[in-house]
C-alpha cells in the first residue's frame, strides 16, 4: 500500500512555475510522484529540466493570466497533454509597490486580475473537471498579508485577503463533492518579488529580527506543505490557510 503522501499517477497544474515559489512547489510535487503542467508567460525551462530528471512528465503552457482568456485552454491543454488533472496550484502572482495615496488604477487592476481573478476562474475551470471526477485538490497561494495589512502594497494586500476568502467559500461549496481547497500563506521568502525589500538594509533587518527562525524562507520550504495538501493525507482538511513563515505570526 502506498503511503498517504504518494502522488504517483497524479497530474498537477501549477501556475507561475518558472521560478520562485511556483518552481519549488512544482518540483516537490514531482518528487512525490506527480506529473506537472506549468502555465505562465515565461517558459519554465529550468523547472522542466529538474522535473524530467526525476522521471516525471512535464508540459509547458504559454498563458498570460492578467486576463481570464486562457483559463479554459490551460485546463484543456493539461488534460490533453498529461491525460488528467488532479491538483491545481494557483501560484501566479504580481506585486506593485507605491504609497496608497499615489497608487494607480492600473497597478490595482493588474495585481487584482492576476492574483485573485485568475485564481478564482482557474479554480472554477478545474473545479468543473474535479466535480465530474469526484476528486480534486486546489492549493491557493495566500500571504502573510492575508492576515496583516502590510505597507505600500494595497492591491496585493486586497488580493491575498481575497485568496483566503475564496479558499473558504470554495471549501464550503465543494468539500462534499470530494474536493479539498486550502491555501498556503508563505512568510518572507527569498524570491524575485522580495528582492527590493531584501536590498533595503534597514527593512531587511527589521524583518529578520521578527522571524523566530532567523532567516528568510526558501521556495523549497513550501514543498512539504504543498505535498500534504495535494495528497490523500489532507482528505479531511478543507478551507485552511496554513502559514509557512518561520514563526512570523507567532511573534
CA pair distance 203, 178, nearest whole angstrom: 44
135 is catalytic: no
Q: Active site residue: 135, 156, 188, 236, which one?
A: 156
The answer to whether residues 35 and 60 touch, using CB atoms and an 8 Å cutoff, is no
Instruction: Give the Å distances, CA to CA, from 130 to 95, 124, 127.
Output: 30, 10, 5
The SS3 of residue 110 is: helix
Instruction: Give the Å distances, CA to CA, from 60 to 17, 90, 170.
Output: 9, 15, 27
Helix (H) or strand (E) holding 77: helix 71-82
Residues that are catalytic? 156
Amino acid at each position: 500500500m502506498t503511503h498517504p503522501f504518494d502522488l504517483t499517477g497524479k497530474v498537477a497544474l501549477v501556475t507561475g512555475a518558472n521560478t520562485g515559489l511556483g518552481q519549488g512547489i512544482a518540483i516537490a510535487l514531482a518528487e512525490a510522484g506527480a506529473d506537472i503542467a506549468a502555465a505562465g508567460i515565461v517558459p519554465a525551462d529550468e523547472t522542466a529540466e529538474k522535473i524530467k530528471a526525476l522521471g516525471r512528465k512535464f508540459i509547458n503552457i504559454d498563458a498570460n493570466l492578467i486576463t481570464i482568456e486562457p483559463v479554459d485552454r490551460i485546463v484543456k491543454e493539461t488534460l490533453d497533454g498529461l491525460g488528467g488533472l488532479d491538483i491545481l496550484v494557483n501560484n501566479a502572482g504580481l506585486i506593485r509597490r507605491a504609497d496608497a495615496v499615489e497608487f494607480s488604477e492600473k497597478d490595482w487592476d493588474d495585481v487584482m486580475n492576476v492574483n485573485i481573478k485568475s485564481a478564482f476562474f482557474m479554480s472554477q475551470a478545474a473545479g468543473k473537471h474535479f466535480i465530474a471526477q469526484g476528486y480534486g485538490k486546489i492549493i491557493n497561494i495566500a500571504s502573510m498579508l492575508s492576515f496583516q495589512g502590510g505597507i505600500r502594497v494595497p492591491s496585493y494586500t486586497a488580493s491575498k485577503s481575497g485568496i483566503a476568502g475564496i479558499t473558504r467559500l470554495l471549501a464550503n461549496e465543494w468539500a462534499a463533492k470530494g474536493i479539498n481547497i486550502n491555501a498556503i500563506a508563505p512568510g518572507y521568502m527569498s524570491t524575485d518579488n522580495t528582492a527590493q525589500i531584501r536590498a533595503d538594509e534597514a527593512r531587511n533587518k527589521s524583518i529578520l529580527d521578527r522571524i523566530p527562525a532567523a532567516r528568510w524562507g526558501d521556495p523549497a520550504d513550501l514543498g512539504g506543505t504543498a505535498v500534504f495538501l495535494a495528497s490523500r493525507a489532507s482528505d479531511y482538511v478543507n478551507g485552511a490557510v496554513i502559514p509557512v513563515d518561520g514563526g512570523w505570526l507567532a511573534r
